[in-house]
Structure 1
């Protein structure tokens, strides 16, 4: 029997549900932005394309720079009033907003499926991590704010599309809980409907959230450069991050999370049964996340054993249409990933892979879309099957940068010096891991790897709640986050305070 779309999960069905729940934000013909405490039909409305099947979905309204300036001015006024509200009331309002998010958790997750292609399992996890993470901050924030005050102006958030809830909305709610008004630019490539619904549910309880959308080139000079902004929080790639830094006042509080080539080393190792499931899990969401592991650095003498477990793991990876079921009553499929964020990204990645192989990279594994789970005759242009390449040539982007797709590269080494050089290929990373049977050797080598978090035989992630997060080298600029560090990053402490982070004049890392 051919798969069918799970009844009740079509985009029109979901949009109608949103319009019934939040008619102020979801009009019949377009989404609205939230500025100055009101939903406004400003900007040029537009449509977007779902990566799931190429169908048309709601796109972000496009504001211009003048409208962005008006939004910042309105947020400044909100900030002045909100900063005077006692913490007890801020906590009460935040909990009320979280209760609404929890009520509509499944709808928020289904919006993520259509907008950014997340499988159901990962989409619900994104929403749950947001809600549970902010609940933790409500319980723990009192001592974190001792002796601290809100910043002089609202927090400006510019984030990538891959984690609209657990990264962007989570940060917005904690920033507001800490006493700041918040401005967020909806990602252009996906997630605007989910963020619109989440914002609509939160602002009903008086939280000072501004949601705008539009071209980054048009809005970034305002959202980055305005002297009224108290802090800039950015999550994205090094290219865009570098452009933002050029327009950023070095004295302004900032948090810039950028990419790095996260590597997994295999050295003097033999417990292959523990590595195999780690390789499979690394393909979650097609490696479209900042803590994905797209590079394995393997001791040459172990390559035959590594390749055996690697091929077993990659052949188990499942992908396809996230909402395709066999029967109407079936649960949604537990896929490892769905599409890439756009068909253009899939085409770009295919070109990069083919070029790397043409110039000498060895294709160890090339999956095909025929092994995926799809609806009959659906468009599949944004999908990309797993690929593994041995020894990508130095001229290839795969040699030194993360592909942000289900493509692994493998580099063989013979000495510890070569291992460390290969694992430090991108001048800093967010995470790294090493599979090594000798703990003493593993810890010695870990000290030479330029990554913020290090995993001994296991993957590291961004982390939740009290776990701090940052980056080394070019992977991070500004204050680190996580736990009390996130609260400190968006509040003013005592005179002369030196926050943990990478700043133009110093770098300071928390104890590990």
Structure 2
């Protein structure tokens, strides 16, 4: 390995959140996005290879990513990695590791800062179009995800990494210099990405890579195209071959092979709670074969709440609830899916909620007037449908809005609102991951009791919101719900965390709460080494206390 000179302590450029475009009618940005959508449609189906060591690999097994709002149309065909390819990916990543981790931090950071700038301008509309068509997001949801959030991850991670490296021992004894190194993990990181956020698919491999790690990325079958474009951007930004290996394919087979490697050093995961728990058990069962104790970093699901106190501003609470529950068809891990409303404001809340609900438009993402589009695939559609049908037959539940669905062309589910008299109802306690909201009306005088119900109803602990103007009610809610949500909002919806402003993550069944969009996440992918350098030789081994 050749020596690399480090001739300065460099400072990251000033970092701010990426300004978001709003795509109003007749704007240049809307025209450019519509052109990108049209071009992507014309190119479909797009062939996506495996990427290992910079080499594009094509196998005999090909799977399809379809457009969920038009499921007869294949958006992309992607090659699936086989065992020989996975073995090659592991060996290639480990071979690339030495030179990548030895690269000065400023050179590693420059790759991701350049990627952010490329996405901000050159690739913005292409990645948004892939996210809209492939993952069913409308223009605004794609903008805040695939553009703004991913750009923010790349830029803020570089800022946070620089701050981490600057943290050094504050005290040095005479004749001694103490130093800390933030080494990458010994081995490779395995990143498993979800379908619902392109930014997460980009951050899962990028955060460990920035800290000098090498990564194997398995994209979601429903987001292969957008994740491939992310790799395209990183490669143009100068990411060396082998640092991030792109290995789409069958999750169970790929994961089983990877977790049997002695060099497996970390899991970086976003997905379902059930899969995360299984992975944790599998890693535990394999613990004797690993060279080190693997770092397990995961964010899973949620059963997120809004609590409406009698002092709440009802107009704000209604608008925030519509957004929190139904943006992106409720397919955010932070989406509001259970609401607790004080009976003294229930009539006002219900009237306003139904009035606003009637304005929601659902349909293909290419129609910019639609508030949300399809759910991601048939399995998701069938699951959501089953909950709606269950509610129709449940004596304690009443569907007061929505309740219909249609998968003849795309996987569309109308925004559904259920009112239940059972605080432990199936739809208020189980994660649905769709546009279904369940409301429980509580007695205003039982506010403190309902906080206990909110806290105990779900095993998750991701996000939650409290709407109140009464300071005592706010303080009580904050304290009683301290562990019910890793991201807690006051008079604001449960979704929409921004990198650099609200680090995101939850505990309990929702994950390890390592907070993406903060320095804490980056710490999980380094292993510190303490270096003590002595400048003064000792003349003997004994101490004064040894003297007679």
**Is the 1:109–1:124 Cα contact (8 Å) retained in structure 2?**
yes
Matches of 2:250 and 2:427 in 1, distance apart? 28
What are structure 2's unaligned runs of at least 5 residues? 1-32, 167-179, 288-292, 531-548
The residue that corresponds to 2:143 in the other structure is 124
The residue that corresponds to 1:101 in the other structure is 119
> CA RMSD, aligned part only?
2.5
The residue that corresponds to 1:259 in the other structure is 301
The residue that corresponds to 2:197 in the other structure is 163
Determine helix, strand or coil for the equivalent of 1:308: helix
**Is the 2:46–2:75 Cα contact (8 Å) retained in structure 1?**
no
Matches of 1:352 and 1:37 in 2, distance apart? 45
Number of residue pairs the alignment of both structures matches: 463
**Is the 2:305–2:339 Cα contact (8 Å) retained in structure 1?**
yes
**Is the 1:158–1:185 Cα contact (8 Å) retained in structure 2?**
yes
1:454 aligns with 2:488: yes
1:9 aligns with 2:37: yes
The residue that corresponds to 2:165 in the other structure is 145
Matches within 5 A, 1:17-28: none
**Is the 1:203–1:209 Cα contact (8 Å) retained in structure 2?**
no
1:339 aligns with 2:359: no
Residue from 63, 73, 81 that aligns with 1:46: 63
Note the C-alpha offset of 1:456.
1.3
Range with greater deviation from structure 2 (411-420 or 337-346):
411-420
Q: Which structure has the bigger radius of gyration?
A: 2
Note the C-alpha offset of 1:192.
0.6
What are structure 1's unaligned runs of at least 5 residues? 17-27, 325-332, 371-377, 496-512
The residue that corresponds to 1:229 in the other structure is 264
**Is the 1:43–1:64 Cα contact (8 Å) retained in structure 2?**
no
Distance 1:59 1:439, change over 3 A: farther
Note the C-alpha offset of 1:90.
0.9
The residue that corresponds to 1:323 in the other structure is 366
Note the C-alpha offset of 1:409.
0.4
**Is the 1:159–1:168 Cα contact (8 Å) retained in structure 2?**
yes
Determine helix, strand or coil for the equivalent of 2:205: helix
1:301 aligns with 2:344: yes
Matches within 5 A, 1:485-500: 485-493=520-528
Note the C-alpha offset of 1:369.
6.5
Determine helix, strand or coil for the equivalent of 2:268: strand
Matches of 1:200 and 1:29 in 2, distance apart? 14
Distance 1:396 1:223, change over 3 A: farther
The residue that corresponds to 2:81 in the other structure is 63
Note the C-alpha offset of 1:293.
0.5
1:274 aligns with 2:316: yes
**Is the 1:466–1:484 Cα contact (8 Å) retained in structure 2?**
no
Matches within 5 A, 1:342-491: 342-360=377-395, 361-366=397-402, 379-391=408-420, 397-414=426-443, 415=446, 416-449=448-481, 450-460=484-494, 461-465=496-500, 467-477=502-512, 479-491=514-526
**Is the 1:232–1:255 Cα contact (8 Å) retained in structure 2?**
yes
Matches of 2:35 and 2:507 in 1, distance apart? 46
TM-score normalized by the length of structure 2: 0.79
Determine helix, strand or coil for the equivalent of 2:339: strand
The residue that corresponds to 1:330 in the other structure is none
Residue from 149, 153, 166 that aligns with 1:133: 153
Matches of 1:14 and 1:265 in 2, distance apart? 46
Distance 1:454 1:252, change over 3 A: same
Matches of 1:206 and 1:422 in 2, distance apart? 46
Can you list the C-alpha shifts for 1:7-62, whole angstroms capped at 9, x where unaligned? Answer: 6634754637xxxxxxxxxxx87310111222211361222321021112213322
**Is the 1:120–1:334 Cα contact (8 Å) retained in structure 2?**
no
The residue that corresponds to 1:239 in the other structure is 274
Matches of 1:61 and 1:397 in 2, distance apart? 39
**Is the 1:432–1:451 Cα contact (8 Å) retained in structure 2?**
yes
Matches of 2:421 and 2:303 in 1, distance apart? 14
Matches of 2:487 and 2:476 in 1, distance apart? 15
**Is the 2:65–2:223 Cα contact (8 Å) retained in structure 1?**
no
**Is the 1:137–1:465 Cα contact (8 Å) retained in structure 2?**
no
Note the C-alpha offset of 1:349.
1.2
Distance 1:212 1:85, change over 3 A: same
1:83 aligns with 2:104: no
Matches of 2:405 and 2:503 in 1, distance apart? 38
Note the C-alpha offset of 1:392.
7.2
Matches of 1:82 and 1:233 in 2, distance apart? 19
Can you list the C-alpha shifts for 1:377-425, whole angstroms capped at 9, x where unaligned? Answer: x953401111011117688642322211111001122322233213431
Matches of 2:274 and 2:501 in 1, distance apart? 30
Can you list the C-alpha shifts for 1:183-202, whole angstroms capped at 9, x where unaligned? Answer: 210102x1111111220231
Can you list the C-alpha shifts for 1:270-291, whole angstroms capped at 9, x where unaligned? Answer: 4212212212222210110111
**Is the 2:52–2:246 Cα contact (8 Å) retained in structure 1?**
yes
**Is the 1:420–1:445 Cα contact (8 Å) retained in structure 2?**
no
Determine helix, strand or coil for the equivalent of 2:358: helix
Determine helix, strand or coil for the equivalent of 1:133: helix
Matches of 1:224 and 1:117 in 2, distance apart? 32
Can you list the C-alpha shifts for 1:428-460, whole angstroms capped at 9, x where unaligned? Answer: 321111112212222222222221121111124
Can you list the C-alpha shifts for 1:162-209, whole angstroms capped at 9, x where unaligned? Answer: 002x21202322322221112210102x11111112202312413421
The residue that corresponds to 2:290 in the other structure is none
**Is the 1:263–1:296 Cα contact (8 Å) retained in structure 2?**
yes
